[in-house]
Structure 1
């Protein structure tokens, strides 16, 4: 057997090339879209790719399965599990729980392992000449090293309300199948540390079933399904905006891109004309170079391993965009973009010096040091401090008085950023802050200061942090329902009064707010209403019966 793990650091995504050397045939599991990688391996190993497997309909990258099939003639082996809403809409060989596929002397047995998504499957590999016992399990987004796949993406990213809790319960059941496997089976997951498909993924590429049973938090709940569901769903990172498009494109019959496209160099006149039409100009340089001099209106998304993730937050799939990039980096950047389907690259310019040579004037970003920030922070001038990190990061520790506004939602919440006083933005290490600065500058803000050292510099300087306050429950039922029984300490703001009484939520400061009602429907509407207005620390707790169990006294009566 020949085996090779292919790992894309930019999306923390793993794919696999497995071949039978005796038969000269190979399979690829969960291929990325720039498929020349697999063609090269096949050529080097003198193998023909005949099988292509997918573990599920992916949300975090655009699968290259169909590109690879078009170039090789290989057959697509995809899940037919999950029900009518979760079927691939193009030709393939359908797989169900218990299906078995031969590849020369290798056998892949299919396990239906729903939870992350309803159709998710895992592949159990047996190298028949060596042993009748399984040797490897390819889990996709089912079990990771030290973590498991999140079941909330369908609801949070694709807008399929009411799917996350059933998904979590499916995951709880699927783990029983994993537990029943021999402890020596190697586990090769679809992602590693840095992926948004879980909250605590390990950095090592593989593990074993036995090790995960001992060390993975998901196997500590035993028969406590309710505790498992609660822990799994809480504190998951914000799913990038592009995830919804990936779920769609990976399911439907879409146009194929079978090679990495060449990107055309643009003239400055073309750049100016495109910007006048509203086409984004993405500056991929390092943040300090951007700060030293940038083209007005450009957005700084550094061309590092997070490039495609942040591009997926701020670029859409209809509007062409341009790059400022060193020609030596173009191939890498183009590959990163095509892996999430951002193919609409109008062209590039190699440097900002061309802009200056054509008479353009660069602007500079006001980056401040820790000492300057502390001078402003402790001074008499009224400033606004905005923390652009994720909600979990903010809750774990933040600068006292800083407001939380997640960078991914910044453009939808510009009304929450003052233009009348100094605003200092920061994140954890500065990368998100430079994105935030460039977005705000593009939208006419001239009062923004970037504390680029951010939380890393604040903590290294020995400065204190505050943590989010105790959770405040808000009952959005009617006064009569509230009087009949409610959670101790809960506020009663009936849903129909929420707009008029929104200041009562604002006055809670840094406290996370959990809405509840009778069934979870009204509380879901309340949480949605607040999030649309830019308040990130609001959650739908569901029905009264779900939240009252958190308290020893259950409910209190008036």
Structure 2
């Protein structure tokens, strides 16, 4: 048997290529959209991708199954569970609980594991030349390392009211089935730490059934179903705004993108023409460089592992946008964006100092200066972290306005007072600063040290 785990750190998303080395057949599970990684792995290992599968209709990334099928001719195996509202709306081979997929001398048995979503399935792998016992289970967003899939996404991200309680009950039942698997079976989920698909995902990328039964909080409630569902639904992080679009695009026919596109470097005239037309500018530089000089109206979303998530919060799927980035970064940034379907890159620029535009600077303050504003009249301190982080401990008097929803909550920010913003360590507050500057807020200061520095210096927090 051939096995490879492909992990995208930018979305904390795992996919898998599993093959039978005797027959040369292979399956890809939960493919990312830039599919060249799978084609390269298959070629290097004398495998043919003949099967493609998904564990469910994903919300956090644009699945590349259809791109991969278009290039390889492989058959897509997708869930037909969950009822009429949860069916994929494009051709595929439907799967029900108990079905078996044959890949050479390997088999994948389908387990219907609803809870995170109604159609969710897991795949139990047996490597028959080695043993007739199952050796791995691919759980998608059902069971993670240290956590389980959240059932509230359909309600919070897709607006399907009343689904979270039903999903929590289904999850409780699905876990009973999971717990019956042999304890030695390896668990390979679709996400790891950093994903918004759960709240306590572990940093280790795989586990075993037995280890999860003793470590994972979800297996510690016994017959207390209410205690389980109450804890499961409490304290989940805010689902990124783009999740609703992913749910839609992963379900319906859409335009395929089978290669990583290349985007033009704009000259001064091209950029100024687009800028004057109002095309949004996303500055991917380091937050310090941005603070020292930025194009008026641009948003600072640093080109790190969180880049695609924050773009998904703040961009829509109809608007074009320009990136400020080095040419050497563009392939990586393009991949990150195409993985969530943000394909409308107009072009990029690498230099902002020769555009003839007067640059703005950010007012970044130190801990000592920040302290002078705490508790002061006519000062609004805004904590732009998530609500769960805020409730876990914040600066006295600080108000919570999450950066991801800030564009929809500008009325909560005062234009008549001194505004001081902060987050955990400065990345999100820099995004927030650029949003406020773009929307005409002039009296804003950014305490970039954030709660990390505040706590390290043992300053008081309230809950």
TM norm structure 1? 0.82
**Which whole-Å CA distance do the structure 1 matches of 2:289 and 2:58 have between them?**
35
Q: Find the counterpart in structure 1 of residue 113 from structure 2.
A: 113
DSSP 3-state at the match of 2:229 = helix
Structure 2 runs not aligned, ≥5 long: none
DSSP 3-state at the match of 2:374 = helix
Q: Give 1:381 shift.
A: 5.3
Which residue of 399, 402, 405 corresponds with 2:398?
402
**Which whole-Å CA distance do the structure 2 matches of 1:173 and 1:315 have between them?**
38
**Which whole-Å CA distance do the structure 1 matches of 2:132 and 2:404 have between them?**
49
Q: Does 1:454 align with 2:446?
A: no
Q: Which segments of structure 1 move beyond 3 Å, counting only runs of 4 or more?
A: none
Q: Does 1:49 align with 2:45?
A: no
Q: Give 1:346 shift.
A: 0.4
Equivalences for residues 498-509 of structure 1 within 5 A: none
Q: Give 1:452 shift.
A: 0.5
Q: Find the counterpart in structure 2 of residue 283 from structure 1.
A: 283
**Which whole-Å CA distance do the structure 2 matches of 1:79 and 1:382 have between them?**
56
**Which whole-Å CA distance do the structure 2 matches of 1:377 and 1:318 have between them?**
41
Q: Does 1:128 align with 2:133?
A: no
Which residue of 410, 413, 419 corresponds with 1:417?
413
TM norm structure 2? 0.99
**Which whole-Å CA distance do the structure 2 matches of 1:359 and 1:344 have between them?**
26
Q: Find the counterpart in structure 2 of residue 71 from structure 1.
A: 71
DSSP 3-state at the match of 2:453 = helix
**Which whole-Å CA distance do the structure 2 matches of 1:195 and 1:245 have between them?**
17
Equivalences for residues 380-529 of structure 1 within 5 A: 382-467=378-463
Equivalent residues of 2:322, 2:347 under 8 A apart: yes
DSSP 3-state at the match of 1:386 = strand
**Which whole-Å CA distance do the structure 1 matches of 2:402 and 2:170 have between them?**
30
Q: Find the counterpart in structure 2 of residue 312 from structure 1.
A: 312
Which range is displaced more, 260-269 or 60-69?
260-269
Which residue of 367, 372, 375 corresponds with 2:372?
375
**Which whole-Å CA distance do the structure 2 matches of 1:85 and 1:97 have between them?**
18
Q: Give 1:268 shift.
A: 2.6
**Which whole-Å CA distance do the structure 2 matches of 1:381 and 1:216 have between them?**
46
**Which whole-Å CA distance do the structure 1 matches of 2:351 and 2:97 have between them?**
53
Q: Give 1:278 shift.
A: 2.7
**Which whole-Å CA distance do the structure 2 matches of 1:427 and 1:331 have between them?**
29
Q: Give 1:275 shift.
A: 2.8
Q: Give 1:360 shift.
A: 1.5
Q: Deviations over 1:504-555 (max 9, x none)?
A: xxxxxxxxxxxxxxxxxxxxxxxxxxxxxxxxxxxxxxxxxxxxxxxxxxxx
Q: Does 1:359 align with 2:356?
A: yes
RMSD: 0.8
**Which whole-Å CA distance do the structure 2 matches of 1:286 and 1:49 have between them?**
39
Q: Find the counterpart in structure 2 of residue 556 from structure 1.
A: none
Q: Give 1:431 shift.
A: 0.5
**Which whole-Å CA distance do the structure 1 matches of 2:91 and 2:186 have between them?**
31
**Which whole-Å CA distance do the structure 1 matches of 2:278 and 2:319 have between them?**
8
Q: Find the counterpart in structure 2 of residue 179 from structure 1.
A: 179
**Which whole-Å CA distance do the structure 2 matches of 1:37 and 1:343 have between them?**
19
Q: Give 1:276 shift.
A: 3.0
DSSP 3-state at the match of 1:432 = helix
Structure 1 runs not aligned, ≥5 long: 468-558
For the pair shown, the structure with the greater C-alpha radius of gyration is 1
DSSP 3-state at the match of 1:435 = helix
**Which whole-Å CA distance do the structure 1 matches of 2:162 and 2:277 have between them?**
40
Q: Give 1:292 shift.
A: 0.6
DSSP 3-state at the match of 1:457 = helix
Q: Does 1:208 align with 2:218?
A: no
Q: Find the counterpart in structure 2 of residue 166 from structure 1.
A: 166
**Which whole-Å CA distance do the structure 2 matches of 1:26 and 1:325 have between them?**
37
**Which whole-Å CA distance do the structure 2 matches of 1:124 and 1:228 have between them?**
25
Equivalent residues of 2:374, 2:397 under 8 A apart: no
**Which whole-Å CA distance do the structure 1 matches of 2:41 and 2:15 have between them?**
13
Q: Find the counterpart in structure 1 of residue 10 from structure 2.
A: 10
**Which whole-Å CA distance do the structure 1 matches of 2:45 and 2:359 have between them?**
51
**Which whole-Å CA distance do the structure 2 matches of 1:83 and 1:376 have between them?**
55
